[in-house]
Structure 1
């Protein structure tokens, strides 16, 4: 019986560890394009910054450093939040400041805005700084795969048809097509899918280990 209990604890511990790793990957500040078509160089884009609160204190401020070559333009007002822009070291900085309770623990909020993509294709990194009510600051500025990664967007080359459409967009529309209906997967990546799948498999294997252990004990 003791051996079975040890096996159960080991299997359960492994499953919980995998689930913890999955939650760490999923719980970070990301900036994602709303339009389902891949972002193209020189085009106007609607982005959404998704901010989860993963501590016991609420998130009360988010500072986003706009990547080089990107121009922040408009933002969607969010009740309970003010928005301000500034320049630091040649970089554009956008700050969302809570005027109320902010983002409660276990919740997330989305902050839409419009920006122009850089004129050349490549990857752009969105450095973000998350401020909690207790004074803690989480810097989402690390490389992909780190504990606190920044969000990365791949900008593709614009096709001639896309460029023509962008050039003929009427003034005042910012060149942004109607946003696609939001989906539950906001920012979901292949890595997230793999880790979630591994977590589910680990839980199933833990259940099977427990069932076999109990069956073996009963047979004795």
Structure 2
């Protein structure tokens, strides 16, 4: 009985901590090649009964963000340094924001620097009651900043998103080709079986 209770308790705590960890503000993808063009997605869950009404993300030095995807009922403002490089973006809700059981995704596009090693995304989440949660800590902190690892350059300059799409297309073409060959073989086998049956029937009829 005691052993069963301990198993239930450990399972409960594990699930509880997992749900808390998954509720962090994160930026996807978690890994990108150096020198590649990428679409980054900022995922923002609301962790209170009060709605999330504003999200600010500091743009790391190792990436040059140029474009943002429009989001209904949200506006955005950008900040630049003296060189004209974007340093931060703030999304603001023009409507009710993200409620207690909701999350939102905000997308932006840019190029990863050739010499980048990792991208540390510091985010600031503002609630309707005025509270600001700063997702700026280390990986083991209660409120960690999201980190994107930067791998060696692929050489094509398009990044994983284009490469994955090309690979998927090639896979689909290969799969379609395989299906076409199989269909042709089955059709030939069917014709051969039909011809054999007809020949046997005619032979028996004559006999």
TM-score of the two chains, using structure 1 as the length reference:
0.65
Unpaired runs of 5+ residues, structure 2, are 166-207
Shift of 1:151: 0.7
The DSSP-based 3-state class of the residue aligned with 2:32 is: coil
Bigger radius of gyration, 1 or 2? 2
The alignment status of 1:63 with 2:59, answered yes or no, reads no
Unpaired runs of 5+ residues, structure 1, are 167-175, 181-220
CA gap of 1:10–1:41, structure 2 versus 1, over 3 A, is closer
Deviation string 1:67-126 (CA, Å, 9 cap, x unpaired) is 013111111101000011013798701000000000111211111110111221411100
The alignment status of 1:120 with 2:115, answered yes or no, reads yes
**1:20 matched residue in structure 2:** 16
State the aligned residue count.
162
TM-score of the two chains, using structure 2 as the length reference:
0.69
More helix per residue: 1 or 2? 2
Shift of 1:145: 2.3
The alignment status of 1:96 with 2:91, answered yes or no, reads yes
Which structure is richer in relative contact order (CA contacts within 8 A, separation 6 or more)? 1
Indicate which of 78, 85, 90 corresponds to 1:85: 78
The DSSP-based 3-state class of the residue aligned with 1:39 is: strand
* Pairing 1:66-215 to 2, within 5 Å after superposition: 66-87=59-80, 92-160=87-155, 162-163=156-157, 177=162
Deviation string 1:35-71 (CA, Å, 9 cap, x unpaired) is xxx5221221111111001111010000000001311
**1:206 matched residue in structure 2:** none
Shift of 1:7: 7.3
CA contact (8 A) 1:43 1:116 kept: yes
The DSSP-based 3-state class of the residue aligned with 1:68 is: coil
Runs (4+) of structure 1 moved beyond 6 Å? 6-9, 88-91
* Counterpart Cα distance in 1 of 2:44 and 2:38: 19
CA contact (8 A) 2:65 2:86 kept: no
RMSD over aligned Cα atoms: 2.8
